[in-house]
């Protein structure tokens, strides 16, 4: 498990023992806190020796510094003060946590005079620490790696800043966001034998504790609603499907909600159009969209967002048994539109089309944003550095792109159009569920677009970003939790009253 990390804020500190971290920008003459923890000027001497300038994420590390009240001193570079972004503060926090090693007591001086951090900057720094602290090792009975030997169970961090009171307040919101991201990571990392549709729905139900209203629709209820597309995917599994509807009512009663919809395929074998064995284990993460929506609802509720928000997740397992759907089968979606199933491995869109239609009918939302690990083709196009963004609404797309830059959960807009739409016309039904090898991510998006009417809508294809991203300062986990910070930022900047 992750070490427990407790973060306090203080206007001044008299550290005794443990680790002291001093943040320093390129321009500032001396790191803040040097007077308190480095009476003999070791930092300056050592810094000169290694030509330390305060470049972003560079460090000077000093053990048992002479005359110091602490056991170890670390100076962490922030970069050029004029260039430091919100994301740099997050990364600095992550890098700081990464440098703790076996320290159980850490004092951090953040008030670089040139960078002059705001309360929000400091909260972002602390958020970076929490995100880096995450570890999914619940199924390791032996903690054998060198890294784990250095692990401590409990870490007390004191952040020293003149803005302690405001920073503490900003941090209480950041904590809710961190918990949301970590919930999403946990859900993605959890194997499918443990986390089936029912178990996932139970996790969603736990949000009741935070004041979220949660309804769980069963197979019988979905049949009654006519969700033939979603149910067709699920029929080859012995584990029944669920649809979880989460509502956070933090806005005014009359305000129409915003809505987020997630693909929750707890495991995707491909069904009868079965996937090759190599790498199939990764398909335990095919519920990354649903995980992001659940994590987002957690974050918004925990920080008491002033907005009405609906989260809907379609939870199924795509398996090939004797009752599984076949290529060529024709199913009727809740919308009444019929779908010829060409490939049972294009199942995500079948789940989402009923969830989107249901959401639109019931809630008449201001917008719908769906998240889905939808296509391998988006990995071919964008790798794991950008998620694909498809939208029928330029304003919503612009807002999303800006939130992506602010949080560094990056998006790249992809095209939609009539000629792509034609590619999913079917000989036998209203449409088919695949459009062939070319433009695979776009035809998948065109499919979804047929179920959103005139409602402003965006589809985020997160197949490349939800899992298996390269480790970085704030994430070392397979499941990244991608989307939670992005959409929290979107709601915060545009949709709170
Ligand atoms: N869950 C997969 C997409 C995926 C691939 C997610 C790799 C994460 C990593 C999706 O259900 C799928 O199988 N898509 C097919 C669609 C095809 C059959 C039209 C694909 O991308 O190959
Ligand atoms: Mn599939
Ligand atoms: Zn899938």
DSSP 94-149: HHHHHT-TT-SEEEEE---TTT---HHHHHHHHHHHHHHH----TT-SS--SHHHH
Q: Residue 86 pLDDT more than 70?
A: yes
- Determine what percent of the chain is predicted with pLDDT higher than 70: 98
pLDDT band, very low/low/confident/very high, at 1 (cuts 50, 70, 90): confident
Q: Residue 425 pLDDT more than 80?
A: yes
Name the strand (E) or helix (H) holding 245: strand 242-249
pLDDT 10s digits, 438-463: 999 999 999 999 999 999 999 999 99
Confidence at residue 144, expressed as pLDDT on a 0 to 100 scale: 53
Active site residues: 275, 349
Strands 338-340 and 330-332: antiparallel
Q: What backbone torsions phi and psi does residue 259 show, to the nearest 5 degrees?
A: -135, 140
Ligand 1, pocket-test mutation among 188, 272, 374, most atoms within 8 A of CB? 374
265 CA → ligand 3 middle, Å: 6
Q: Residue 151 pLDDT more than 90?
A: no
264 CA → ligand 3 middle, Å: 9
Q: Residue 342 pLDDT more than 60?
A: yes
Report the DSSP beta bridge partners of residue 6.
156
Average pLDDT of the residues in 281-288: 99
Using CA positions, which residue lies closest to atom 16 of ligand 1? 346
Q: Residue 116 pLDDT more than 60?
A: yes
Name the strand (E) or helix (H) holding 42: helix 42-49
272 CA → ligand 2 middle, Å: 11
Confidence at residue 143, expressed as pLDDT on a 0 to 100 scale: 66
Confidence at residue 149, expressed as pLDDT on a 0 to 100 scale: 56
Average pLDDT of the residues in 171-181: 98
191 CA → ligand 3 middle, Å: 15
> Mean pLDDT for the chain?
97
Confidence at residue 103, expressed as pLDDT on a 0 to 100 scale: 96
Confidence at residue 20, expressed as pLDDT on a 0 to 100 scale: 98
Using CA positions, which residue lies closest to atom 14 of ligand 1? 375
Report the DSSP beta bridge partners of residue 217.
243
Confidence at residue 473, expressed as pLDDT on a 0 to 100 scale: 98
Give exposure, 391-430, as e/b (b: 16+ Cβ within 10 Å).
bbbeebbebbbebbebbbbbbebbebeeebbebbeeeebb
Average pLDDT of the residues in 166-173: 98
Q: How many other C-beta atoms can be found within 10 angstroms of the C-beta atom of residue 470?
A: 10
7 vs 110: CA distance, rounded Å: 13
Contact 395, 365 (CB under 8 A): no
441 CA → ligand 1 middle, Å: 9
Confidence at residue 97, expressed as pLDDT on a 0 to 100 scale: 98
Angle between helices 197-205 and 288-302 (to 10 degrees): 10
pLDDT band, very low/low/confident/very high, at 148 (cuts 50, 70, 90): low
Pocket of ligand 1 (CB under 6 A): 268, 286, 343, 345-348, 373, 375-377, 434, 440, 463
Confidence at residue 429, expressed as pLDDT on a 0 to 100 scale: 99
Ligand 1, pocket-test mutation among 317, 446, 463, most atoms within 8 A of CB? 463
pLDDT band, very low/low/confident/very high, at 269 (cuts 50, 70, 90): very high
pLDDT band, very low/low/confident/very high, at 147 (cuts 50, 70, 90): low
Contact 458, 396 (CB under 8 A): yes
Confidence at residue 156, expressed as pLDDT on a 0 to 100 scale: 98
- Determine what percent of the chain is predicted with pLDDT higher than 90: 97
Ligand 1, pocket-test mutation among 375, 377, 438, 447, most atoms within 8 A of CB? 375
Average pLDDT of the residues in 350-364: 99
Confidence at residue 145, expressed as pLDDT on a 0 to 100 scale: 54
Nearest ligand atom owner, CA of 280? 1
Nearest ligand atom owner, CA of 439? 1
Nearest ligand atom owner, CA of 442? 1
The pocket of ion ligand 3, defined by CB under 5 A, consists of 265, 268, 286, 348
Average pLDDT of the residues in 275-279: 98
| 3-class state of residue 264 by DSSP | strand
88 vs 473: CA distance, rounded Å: 10
pLDDT band, very low/low/confident/very high, at 142 (cuts 50, 70, 90): confident
| 3-class state of residue 462 by DSSP | coil
């Amino acid at each position: 498990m992750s070490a427990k990390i407790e973060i306090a804020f203080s206007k001044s500190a008299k550290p005794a023992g443990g680790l002291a971290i001093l943040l320093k920008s390129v321009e500032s003459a001396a790191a803040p806190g040097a007077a308190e923890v480095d009476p003999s000027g070791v930092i300056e001497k050592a810094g000169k020796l290694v030509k330390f300038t305060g470049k972003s994420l560079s460090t000077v590390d000093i053990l048992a510094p002479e005359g110091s009240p602490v056991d170890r001193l670390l100076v962490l570079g922030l970069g050029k003060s004029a260039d430091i972004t919100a994301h740099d503060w997050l990364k600095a926090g992550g890098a700081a946590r990464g440098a703790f090693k076996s320290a159980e007591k850490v004092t951090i001086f953040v008030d670089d005079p040139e960078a002059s951090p705001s309360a929000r900057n400091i909260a972002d720094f602390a958020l970076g620490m929490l995100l880096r602290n995450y570890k999914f090792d619940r199924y390791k009975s032996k903690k054998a790696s060198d890294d784990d030997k250095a692990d401590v169970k409990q870490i007390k961090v004191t952040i020293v800043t003149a803005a302690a009171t405001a920073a503490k307040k900003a941090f209480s919101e950041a904590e809710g966001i961190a918990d949301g991201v970590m919930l999403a990571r946990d859900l993605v990392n959890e194997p499918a034998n443990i986390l089936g549709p029912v178990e996932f729905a139970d996790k969603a139900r736990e949000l009741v504790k935070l004041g979220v209203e949660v309804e769980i629709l069963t197979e019988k209820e979905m049949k009654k609603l006519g969700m033939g597309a979603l149910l067709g995917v699920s029929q080859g599994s012995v584990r029944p499907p669920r649809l979880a509807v989460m509502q956070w009512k933090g806005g005014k009663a009359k305000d129409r909600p915003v809505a987020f919809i997630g693909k929750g395929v707890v495991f995707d074998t491909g069904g009868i159009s079965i996937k090759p064995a190599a790498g199939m284990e990764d398909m335990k993460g095919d519920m990354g969209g649903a995980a992001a929506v659940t994590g987002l609802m957690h974050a918004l509720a925990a920080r008491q967002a002033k907005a009405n928000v609906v989260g809907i997740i379609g939870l199924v397992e795509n398996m090939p048994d004797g009752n599984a759907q076949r290529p060529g089968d024709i199913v009727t979606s809740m919308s009444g539109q019929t779908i010829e199933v060409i490939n049972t491995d294009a199942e995500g869109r079948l789940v989402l089309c009923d969830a989107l239609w249901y959401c639109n009918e019931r809630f008449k939302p201001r917008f719908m944003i769906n998240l889905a690990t939808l296509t391998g083709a988006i990995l071919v196009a964008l790798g794991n550095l950008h998620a694909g963004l498809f939208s029928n609404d330029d304003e919503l797309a612009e807002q999303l792109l800006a939130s992506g830059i602010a949080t560094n959960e990056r998006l790249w807009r992809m095209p939609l159009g009539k000629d792509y739409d034609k590619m999913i016309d079917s000989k036998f039904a209203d449409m088919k569920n695949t459009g062939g090898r070319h433009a695979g991510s776009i035809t998948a998006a065109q499919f979804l677009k047929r179920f959103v009417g005139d409602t402003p809508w965006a589809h985020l294809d997160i197949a490349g970003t939800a899992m298996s991203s390269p480790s970085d300062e704030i994430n070392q986990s397979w499941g990244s939790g991608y989307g939670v910070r992005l959409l929290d930022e979107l709601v915060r900047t545009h949709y709170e009253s």
